[in-house]
Amino acid sequence: MQFAPFASDIDVAFFSSLAYHKINYDKLDSSARRVLGIYEIQPNDAPGNSCRMQIGGTALTADEPAVGQFRAEGIIRNFNTVEEFKKTNYAEIIQKSGRTIWEAIHDGSIYSIPSLLSSFTILSFANLKKYHFQYWCGFPALHSSPPWSVVGQRRQFSVEETSSLCDVVTTWRYSIDSRQRGFFLVKRVKSSIEDEDTVWKLAPLGDYERGFFNDVEDKKKDAFVAFADPSNFEEHPGWPLRNLLYLIRKRWKLQEVNIIGYRDVHALRHQPRSVIWTLKDDSPPDLSDLSIKDAPLPKITGWERNREKKLAPRMADLSQIMDPTRLADSAVDLNNRLMKWRIAPNLDLDKIKGTKCLLLGAGTLGAYVSRILLGWGVHKITLIDNATVSYSNPVRQPLFKFEDCLNGGQPKAIKAAEALKEIYPSVDAQGFKMMVPMAGHPIRDEAHGEQMKADYDKLVSLIQEHDAIFLLMDTRESRWLPTLLGKFYGKIVLNAALGFDTFVVMRHGVRPELETEDEGEAVDDKKPQVTEPVSELGCYFCNDVVAPADSIKDQTLDQMCTVTRPGIAAIASALLVELFVSILQHPQVASAPAPASPDEDRGSHPLGTVPHQIRGFLFNFQNKLIHAPGYIYCSACSNKMLSAFDDGGWEFVKKAMNEPGFIEEVSGLAEVQKAAAAIDDELDWSEDDNGDGDGEML
C-alpha cells in the first residue's frame, strides 16, 4: 500500500506572524515553538491538491481548530543564521520527531493526544531584511515492517450507511476533545436485542483496550478503525494512516484490521466517499512487551520534497507582499473584493480607489468621513481646516488624541492627515491649514487680503486637482465658495450639515456635459462654458431667498460650539460616504437622476438608488429622501453666478466678501426680494374704518 504524503500549505500571514514573534519575543532564542497544523476533508480538491497540512496565520497562538477541521501537533524551530539552518542534521531531527510518536505509542500517552499521530516539524530561517524564508517541513512516519498488505478490493458503504454514520460522526465531534477527532473506533451493533436494525457506535482509540469491540459478533464485518482521511486518491490513503498502523500492530497486536479512510462531509453525506480497506499482517505475531528500554526504533522518514521533487528545503520570497504596509494593502483590498464574490459582482472598486477626495473641514464630520473613505479603499484624501485641536475634540473626533490638544493644539487638517497615515500607511493624505474665503466676511486689511488671495488660489487649485469635494464645515457661508467652484469645474460635490437631532446629507447637481459649436469637440475642463441648466439637482443654497452672510458675529457660546447629539455625525458621515460610492457606481456618475420615490427599483445598480438628499431625524429615528431641482436665482450654483465668477474670478469673490447685497444683485435674488415686497405692499391688511359695517360678520 502506498500513502499520499502531506503537502505543506503555509499561509503568507503565518510568515508575518513568525517574523513578528522573532522580532518582538524570541529575539536570539531559537528553541522550538509549538505550532498548530490543520488538515481537512476537501471533497472538491483534485487528488494532487489534497492531503494538505495547513499552517495558518494564527498557528503560533491558536489552540483549537474549527469543528470540521483536524488538528496536528507541530513544532517550529526558527534559526538565527542561515548557516545554522543549512548545517542542521536533518536525519537526526526527523528521528527525534518520530521517536516522540513512538514513545507515546509504547507508554500509552498516545490515547490522550492521538493528534500526535499526524505531527510535523518545521525548520526555518527568516531573512527579515529581504523577507526571504527558507523552510523544510517534516511529517514523521513510523514504518511498519513488513508492510501491511491489502486483502481483496477496497469497499464503500451504501448511501444509507454513509448517511447514518456521517450523522453519528458529526455529533461525536462536538462532544470530544479536538485532539481525538482525527482517529476513532467504529462498530456496527444491533440497536436492541429484539430489533435486527443496526446502529453505529464511535469511541476514541483508548477504548480499544477497554473492550469497545467485545460486543461485536462479527468483528471482520462490523469492527473498524477509522481515521480522517485528507487524501482524494481512490487507491491511496492519506499520510496519517502510517503511524496509526504502527500503533495497531505494536500496541494492539492485530494481524488483520478493517480500516475506514473517512472522507465524508455532512453536506454531501448522500454521496459516499469513505473507503474501507482490509489490511493483513503476514509476519509472525509480535509477542514482545511494550517496554521501550531495549526496543529498536523503527525506520522513520517524512521530509517533504520541494517543488522540484527533491529532498531539500523550500524558499518563500515574500519581499513584495511581506512588508507590513503591503500586507495592509492586501488586507484592505481583499476585504472589499470579497463583496464581488456574491453580493455585488459588478462593483467597480478600482474607480472608488482612484477617486481623489477633498474634504473641507477636518472636525467631527471630516474625521468620520475620512475613516469611512479608508474603509472603501480610497487612496487620495486631502483635508482643509483652519482650526487647531481643542480639548473637547478627541472624544467626538476619532482622528485626534489628548496629546494633540497640548501647547495650543495641533493644526487639525495636518494632524488628521498624519492620523490617517498611521491607520493606513499607503493612503496619500495631506492636510492644509488655511481659510476658505466666506461671503459676508469682509477683508480687514492689506495683509488679510493677501492671505485671503493666497488661500483662494490654493482652494481653486485643490478643487481642480480632486474629483469629489466634501463640504463638512461649521457655517453656511464657508460652504458658498466651494459650492460655486465645484459646480463651475464640474466636480462631484457632497454636503453634510448637522442640527441637534437632525441632519441633511446631499449631493449637488452638475451641469450637463457641454460641447462647442463643432459637434463632438469637448470644452476645456479648466474653464467650462456656462449654459442654461437642464433639470439639474439643487445645491445646499437653492432653497434660500437670501444670500449667505456672516453667521458667526454676535454668537453666544452654545451657538459657537457645534451642539449635536454625539452619534449624529457618525450617522451622517456614513450616509454621505455611501452616497458618494453609489454615485461612482452609477453609469451616469454625478449626473445620475434622483429616484422618483424611495421604493424605486434599483435596476442594475450594484448598490441601489442614488438619492438627491437624505434628511434624518433622530427624535423619531426616520430618514426621508428629498428631491429638489436647482433654483434659477441660487446664490451659489445658478448660471448667473457661474458667469459672473467666470468673468471676475478673485475680484468677484472679493466683492462677495466685502459688499453687502452684491450676491443678491448678481444672482437675481434682489429682484425676487423686491417683487415679494411689492406684492406685500399691494395687499391691504388694514381694517375698514367705516362704521357702517358695525355688527357685520367679516
Active-site residues: which are they? Answer: 561
Side-chain half-sphere exposure of 625, counting CA atoms within 13 A: 13
Task: Return the SS3 of 36.
Answer: strand
Cα angle value 36/39/42 (rounded, 5°): 155
* Cβ pair 358, 458 in contact under 8 A: no
C-alpha cell at 542: 437653492
Task: Return the SS3 of 70.
Answer: strand
Return the sign of the alpha-carbon dihedral for residues 490, 457, 542, 643: negative
Side-chain half-sphere exposure of 279, counting CA atoms within 13 A: 29
Whole-Å CA distances, 277 to 9, 37, 234, 259: 28, 27, 11, 5
Backbone angles phi, psi at 497, to 5 degrees: -140, 145
Task: Return the SS3 of 174.
Answer: helix
C-alpha cell at 258: 478493517
Q: Is the peptide bond before 394 cis (omega within 30 degrees of 0)?
A: no
Cα distance between residue 245 and residue 281, in whole Å: 10
C-alpha cell at 370: 475620512
- Residue 684 burial (10 A CB sphere; 0-12, 13-18, 19+): exposed
Cα distance between residue 365 and residue 497, in whole Å: 9
Cα distance between residue 371 and residue 419, in whole Å: 10
Considering only CA atoms, which of 587, 353, 613, 593 is closest in space to residue 467?
Answer: 353
Write the DSSP assignment of 72-140 as a string of letters.
Answer: EEEEEEEESSHHHHHHS-HHHHHHHHHHHHHHHHHHSGGGT-GGGGG-EEEEEEEETTTTEEEEEEEEE
Cα distance between residue 140 and residue 72, in whole Å: 12
Cα distance between residue 610 and residue 623, in whole Å: 14
3-state SS string for 558-622? HHHCCCCCCCHHHHHHHHHHHHHHHHHHCCCHHHCCCCCCCCCCCCCCCCCCCCCEEEEECCCCE
Q: Report which DSSP code applies to 384.
A: E
Cα distance between residue 57 and residue 342, in whole Å: 25
C-alpha cell at 475: 457655517
Return the sign of the alpha-carbon dihedral for residues 172, 176, 182, 187: negative
C-alpha cell at 355: 477617486
Place of cell 453609489: 582
